[in-house]
Structure 1
Amino acid sequence: MVATGGARTATEIAGDVRSGRVQPAAVAQQALDAIASRDGAIGAFVEVRPDEVLREADAVAVRADLQSLPLAGVPVAIKDNVSVTGYPMRNGSVATSPDAATSDHPVVARLRAAGAVVVGLTSVPELCLWGATDAAGRITRNPWNLDLTPGGSSGGAGAAVASGMVPIAHGNDGMGSVRIPAANCGLVGIKPGRGVVPSQLGRNSWFGMSENGPLTTTVADAALMLSVMADDPSLAYVDRPESVRIGVAAGSPSPVVRVDEHFRRATLDTARLLDGDGHRTTTAELPYPASPLGQIARWTAGGADDATGLDRSALQKRTRRHIAVGRRLERFVKPSQIASLERHMRTYFTDVDVVLTPALATPPIRAIDWSTRGWLANMAANIRYAPFAAPWNLLGWPAISVPAGIHPESGTPLAVQLAGPPGSERLLLALAAQIELARPWPRTAPVR
């Protein structure tokens, strides 16, 4: 049994296109129709490419290498902070250049080479700094509960997939920006380890914290899309793992953050599921950084670097404050912070192979005009609901968000996070696939 509900998966679409059972243009048109009927209420896309995507789909159909294309004819959404030829990369801001990009980002080029067709560009918060997705006059909403956010900064990507408008979407993750929308929207979202997928995000990928990754409805699709983005076909094959030592860290990473009981219970329930599937679980709280300074300095200073050359007066007030803080904190971006955390984590992982945590501390925050709120209000909201992701960005180690039920109060998905040392992407995907097999989830939100 596999995850239930929703339209066809990317794996299924590609198989149908390769076999000739369906034409890529028909698949693209279905995605365009879904966007036309659903996105008005959700706001996932900032740009849709109806004419271009149909032409690209037709071009896929006559490719000589059609039979070998892993994503043959699969519609994909691209986050609006990487370049797509012919379109401006606005990065959620009116302060960025309106000029069209003249080349594709390497990840976009790899997706297209694999047969995927780019349907459109998805919404992000300004400069991808925040854990909710909104801008002046535009709020992106969670398909499971329109009053709540799908998360950020890959919020448009998460909402596009969770609403069934596209089967897969590109995102990237500097402080949880793939895993947070995945958790909010009931998707699989993996942040690969450093160097697995080309990053090339902004000026310095937030000092090496940011990575590109997929958002999908199934583990098989996540593995397939990651294999294309990484140019590593072996990642697409998820084998059943032997007995794995799993540390269970359900507690809060910060004394100022309380973990919602339902997220904590989902983590413990998932541990029992994995234990019953032959793995060895043990309670083992993580050695989180004693100070968040290393993470916050890179978050703010990375944003400040990305704002270089932009008209400050055109930026949102919260962004101006964020980059001003970043200018002051840049001197606190030190390699020793990573070295210290890695030393403690290496010791932790001598006794376990993988760690299991909640993906979020609370359900999604409200879908409101956060872009008009103050910097402190945004910081507090982001940190309190999504504190589990950032250490893995600082380390540059892989982590994945996996659905784990439905929150009884918000009606949005629950989720857990699996993380491991460098090179553990396939193991994380394999464990996620076991969870999916034992506890299938609705692949998309109910159509409203």
Structure 2
Amino acid sequence: MPTWVGATAKQIARGVRRGDVSATQVVADHLDHIGQTDADLAAFRMVRGGEALAEAEKVDEQEDLAHLPLAGVPIAVKENTAVAGLPTWNGSAGARTAVAEADHEVVRRLRGAGAVILGVTRMSELGLWGVTDDQTAVTRNPWDQARTAGGSSGGAAAAVAAGLVPIAHANDGLGSIRIPAACCGLVGLKPGRGAAPCQLGADDWFGLAEHGVLTSTVADAVIGFSVLAGRRAEKLMPPDRLRVGTSLRSPIRGVQPDGPNRDAVAAAGRLLATAGHDIMAADPVYSSALGLTGLATWLAAGAADLHDAGLDRRSLQPRSRRHVALGQWALRHGYVREADRTAWRDRSIQFFTDHSIDVLLTPALAATPPEAAAWSRRSWRSNLLSNIRYAPYAAPWNIAGLPAIVVPVGRRPDGLPVAVQLVGPPGSELLLLGVAGQFEMIAPWSRHAPGFPRSCPQSPAST
């Protein structure tokens, strides 16, 4: 019997609205696929089987589905975002907080759009790390299970890349949407500051964090962003001729992109030129002060979230205990300053004006994703060095509060996907999605990792 596993969110919602399939059937198909597949990947922390089916039935009972852009679409929520009736795990049992009495606002918006919450996906403890694991499991990349799916939204990325859900909620404080998107060959948009309600932890990681989605298509990313931002989904039009600046310069001194990531930027530049855009070199100036600002803010964010949640530092993993202790020290000594973050934001916005560019193109990663391993048992220093060596390009744009998107552009020689990052000035989310749509049209990517979804006949939506 055909299944809707592997269909896009847009296809599923259209099928449910037309009556081609029930939300209940779609959800049941995906729950079966999760049961057959997730033991190998550890994408989900908890699956809401019976509850999800009951919620799908409520979607089916509605008389008018025309106003639901995600009608019957199975979705996963990152485990640091409140889902009513579930604990908020925050990446480990040691960081878990009480059962939530109400949904977070972004979860409420997803449900209001017709989405059905299948469960919550795994993340690194307190969202601090670019790999996803804890004492109970290591989340693995569907493209190569010996490699990480990234972090902190590693479970969300693994779930979409394996077809466990067509779309997954995630959030991004220093790259936690874009890094997993690059690792797993997905589209990952970090909206600009204030585009969607955040309300994470103590103070949204000092304003650096934003909610978004991970998807396998640009069209699904548009729908997901629109729902989270509380706006009507717009039909994307190819952007007018743009001036695109390209840069390989790394924000971290001594860390340079490897050959496949350099080649990805060159290939992306050629694709954009084919689409009619003007391509030119434009290097941001990443000062040592920016690196210190980012490091201090990252350290302090963990300490602030721990204090806000009333957690005991002794319950955390060794790497996180060390991180929080350093964050408390940074806060006490005044190294976390709003003025520093504002200065970088102002300089970043001015960068687009000074270079007369509309979009900046950079690598998404600097190296192949690290091994999938028990990083939670390794030292803080080991985790720090691994993170900055493979994923230095995302963090500056959180500090600046600018929108940024990761888009797949091919594969590395080892078979893993390779991606690029596009950054734009404030309010350019739809422009970035439009450019991503041109990538998808000119050079389509594999929507799922090879071999996924497993044992699933072709979806009716794709026939």
**What's the TM-score once normalised by structure 1's chain length?**
0.97
Partner of 2:345: 342
Partner of 2:316: 315
Partner of 2:436: 432
Partner of 1:282: 280
Q: CA deviation at 1:11?
A: 0.3
CA contact (8 A) 1:287 1:344 kept: no
How far apart in 1 are the matches of 2:97 and 2:177? 25
Q: CA deviation at 1:30?
A: 1.0
Partner of 1:71: 70
Consecutive unaligned residues of structure 2, counting only runs of 5 or more, are 453-463
How far apart in 1 are the matches of 2:144 and 2:329? 38
Matches within 5 A, 1:366-445: 366-409=371-414, 411-445=415-449
One-letter identity of the residue aligned with 1:440 = P
Q: Select the residue among 266, 285, 295 that pairs with 1:268.
A: 266
- Residue 326 of structure 1 aligns to a residue whose secondary structure is helix
Identity %: 49
Q: Select the residue among 334, 348, 363 that pairs with 1:358.
A: 363
CA contact (8 A) 1:370 1:378 kept: yes
CA contact (8 A) 1:250 1:268 kept: no
- Residue 68 of structure 1 aligns to a residue whose secondary structure is coil
Matches within 5 A, 1:13-32: 13-32=12-31
How far apart in 1 are the matches of 2:347 and 2:279? 20
Consecutive unaligned residues of structure 1, counting only runs of 5 or more, are 1-5
- Residue 118 of structure 2 aligns to a residue whose secondary structure is strand
- Residue 300 of structure 1 aligns to a residue whose secondary structure is helix
Partner of 1:113: 112
Is 1:133 matched with 2:137? Answer: no
Q: CA deviation at 1:293?
A: 1.1
Q: CA deviation at 1:92?
A: 1.3
How far apart in 2 are the matches of 1:343 and 1:213? 24
Q: CA deviation at 1:208?
A: 0.4
Q: Deviations over 1:252-271 (max 9, x none)?
A: 22222021111111111111
Moved more, 334-343 or 187-196: 334-343
- Residue 301 of structure 2 aligns to a residue whose secondary structure is helix
Q: CA deviation at 1:95?
A: 2.4
How far apart in 2 are the matches of 1:312 and 1:269? 46
Q: CA deviation at 1:154?
A: 0.3
CA contact (8 A) 2:345 2:399 kept: no
Is 1:190 matched with 2:195? Answer: no
- Residue 176 of structure 1 aligns to a residue whose secondary structure is coil
One-letter identity of the residue aligned with 1:266 = A
Matches within 5 A, 1:96-245: 96-97=95-96, 99-234=98-233, 236-245=234-243
How far apart in 2 are the matches of 1:418 and 1:264? 14
How far apart in 2 are the matches of 1:238 and 1:64? 29
Moved more, 62-71 or 420-429: 62-71
One-letter identity of the residue aligned with 1:91 = N
RMSD: 1.3
CA contact (8 A) 2:313 2:324 kept: no
Matches within 5 A, 1:83-102: 83-97=82-96, 99-102=98-101
How far apart in 2 are the matches of 1:408 and 1:118? 36
CA contact (8 A) 2:182 2:417 kept: yes
Q: Deviations over 1:339-394 (max 9, x none)?
A: 32233323320110110000000111110000000000000001110000001100
How far apart in 2 are the matches of 1:420 and 1:67? 33
Q: Deviations over 1:65-120 (max 9, x none)?
A: 41210000000000000100000001112224553110000000000000000001
Q: Deviations over 1:12-32 (max 9, x none)?
A: 000000000000011001110
CA contact (8 A) 1:192 1:213 kept: yes
How far apart in 1 are the matches of 2:65 and 2:78? 26
CA contact (8 A) 1:133 1:149 kept: yes
CA contact (8 A) 2:142 2:158 kept: yes
4+ residue runs over 4 A deviation: none
Q: Against the structure 1 CA distance between its residues 70 and 290, is the aligned structure 2 distance closer, same or farther, given a 3 Å change threshold?
A: same
How far apart in 1 are the matches of 2:224 and 2:112? 12
- Residue 233 of structure 1 aligns to a residue whose secondary structure is coil
CA contact (8 A) 2:251 2:396 kept: no
Moved more, 346-355 or 102-111: 346-355
Q: CA deviation at 1:441?
A: 0.2
Q: Deviations over 1:119-156 (max 9, x none)?
A: 01000111111000000131000000000000000000
How far apart in 2 are the matches of 1:99 and 1:435? 43
Q: Deviations over 1:218-268 (max 9, x none)?
A: 00000100000000114x421111001100012322222021111111111
How far apart in 1 are the matches of 2:149 and 2:366? 15
- Residue 87 of structure 2 aligns to a residue whose secondary structure is coil
Q: CA deviation at 1:56?
A: 0.4
How far apart in 2 are the matches of 1:230 and 1:12? 21
CA contact (8 A) 2:345 2:401 kept: no
Partner of 2:458: none
How far apart in 2 are the matches of 1:151 and 1:96? 19
Partner of 2:457: none
Partner of 2:456: none
